[in-house]
Each structure stands twice: as C-alpha cells, then as structure tokens.
Amino acid sequence: MKDCGQRYLVQRELTIDKLDFLHQKLQIQFELSNVYLNSVYLLLFFNSQKMIQLHDKSFAPFISAKEIDLAITKIVQQIKTDLGDEIPVFLGVLNGSFMFVSDFMKQFSGQCELSFVKLASYDGITSTEEVQHLIGLHHDLTNRTVIVLEDIVDTGTTLLSLKKSIEKESVKSFKVASLFFKPEAYKKEITIDYVGIRIPDKFIVGYGLDYNGLGRNLPAVYQLKE
Ligand code: 5GP
Ligand code: MG
C-alpha cells in the first residue's frame, strides 16, 4: 500500500512538472506569435504609410533619393572622364528631366553650357508614337559636343525624334545620358551612352516624372501598383 501511495505521489509530481513545462512552452509560443503578429502589423503599417495615390492609381516606393543621387554621381564621373578638356552643351529634355538636370549640374564641376528642349510623347501611362516638339532648339550647336540629359528612355521614340532634329545642326558629337532606362521596352538603335539605373518595363513617377501632371515634386521614385 505504501508503495502504491509513493508511486502515486511521484506520478503526480511528474504530471505537475509536465504541465508546468507545457504551460511555459505555450507561453513562449504565445509570446513569439505576438512578436510575429506585431511585426507583421508594423510592416503593413509602414508600407501603407509609404504608398502614394495620384488620381486613380496607387504607387509603391521603388527607388530612394539616395540611390538616385549615387546614380547621378556615377553618370557625372563617366561623362567627366570621357570629356577631357571639351566644353559640352548639355541638353535637358523638359518636362521630366528638370530635377535630374538640376542635380546633375550641381555635381558637374567642369565648364559647360546648358539648354533645354520640350518634347511630349506620353499620354497617361502609355507611350505614343507621336512626339510633339513644344519648345524647339534655340542654341547654336554647330561643331559642339552635345550630351542629351533625359529623365527616362522607354521605347526610344522621343530620343529618335530629338536625334533627327539635332542631326540638322552639324554637331561635333552627340551623346545620350539617361537617368532611368527600360531595356525591355526599348525599340530603337540609338546608343544610350550613360545609363543611371536600368528598370523593368513598369510605369514610374517621382523625381520629375508625372502621372497626368502629378508626382513630379516627389524626391524619390514610385512604381505603379497593379
Ligand atoms: P519614349 O519616347 O522613350 O517611349 O518615352 C520617353 C518619355 O516618356 C520620357 O522622357 C518620359 O517623359 C515619358 N516616360 C517614359 N516612361 C515613363 C514612365 O515610366 N513614367 C513616366 N511618368 N513617364 C515616362
Ligand atoms: Mg523625358
């Protein structure tokens, strides 16, 4: 009888220990799942904070201001090396390139001239074959080294149209620098001599680029969310 009683007590202690252990395990699991859920909520919260809405479309963060700055530094250094003592004419393509041109010029330390043309080919979020020359060339480019500064090259239609009008000017050389480039969408033969960042064939806004007039003032780049 005594044996039975002792065995009962030992078994009871073992069961209590087991229960304690299970209880602790459950508590740890509960705390871990709480930490997990909280981080998911935080992630969702921060992501929803960074999304932007322009007209009827949402855009997600894509390229940071820091990455853009580094890409411009890379282009500036490559151009500077290639130019040597040559004094170039930089040709900005409005409207989209205004921010790129401004930051580019601040980083470019050598002597240079600057001019702008204004072209338009985009309708909403699609590229059209028709390029409108809204402001033409008003700079004597005879025998000059011309470097086009584009915000983005997509199909290349705008660039081809610009190249055709510059070819009439008897320039010494013609080069192209584009901050963003969509290789999958590019259909033309013109060499893009300096590329900042290659991106997929998806519509972006910010850093000069707009969606139906909005978004140009954003310091970073956002991608269309579909
Ligand atoms: P492309 O003629 O090469 O198709 O397009 C060139 C012009 O279309 C660019 O200079 C830019 O103004 C506009 N564009 C091309 N891709 C995009 C884009 O993803 N977003 C925005 N906002 N504009 C673009
Ligand atoms: Mg442009």
The pLDDT assigned to 46 comes to 54
Count CB neighbours of 132 within 10 A: 11
Ligand nearest to the backbone CA of 92: 2
Measured in Å, residue 208 CA sits from the centre of ligand 2 at 9
Residue type, 166: I
pTM of the model: 0.80
Residue with tokens 């025998």: 143
Rounded-to-integer distance, Cα 42 and Cα 215, Å: 26
Measured in Å, residue 12 CA sits from the centre of ligand 1 at 76
Mutate to test the pocket of ligand 1, among 63, 94, 158 (most ligand atoms within 8 A of CB): 158
DSSP 22-87: HHHHHHHHHHHHHHHHHHHHHHHHHHHHH-EEETTEEEEEEE-HHHHHHHHHHHHHHHHHHHTT--
Count CB neighbours of 191 within 10 A: 9
Measured in Å, residue 178 CA sits from the centre of ligand 2 at 9
Question: What residues of the chain score a pLDDT lower than 70?
Answer: 1-16, 30, 35-37, 39-49, 122
The pLDDT assigned to 52 comes to 97
Ligand 1 atom closest to the CA of 211, numbered from 1: 22
Residues contacting ligand 1 via CB (< 6 Å): 93, 96, 121-122, 127, 150-159, 203-205, 209-211
Measured in Å, residue 56 CA sits from the centre of ligand 2 at 23
Ligand 1 atom closest to the CA of 93, numbered from 1: 10
Question: Tell me: the pLDDT tens digits for 59-74?
Answer: 999 999 999 999 999 9
The pLDDT assigned to 8 comes to 64
Mark whether 82 is an active-site residue. Answer: no
Ligand nearest to the backbone CA of 159: 1
Residue with CA nearest ligand 1 atom 17:
203
Ligand 1 atom closest to the CA of 186, numbered from 1: 3
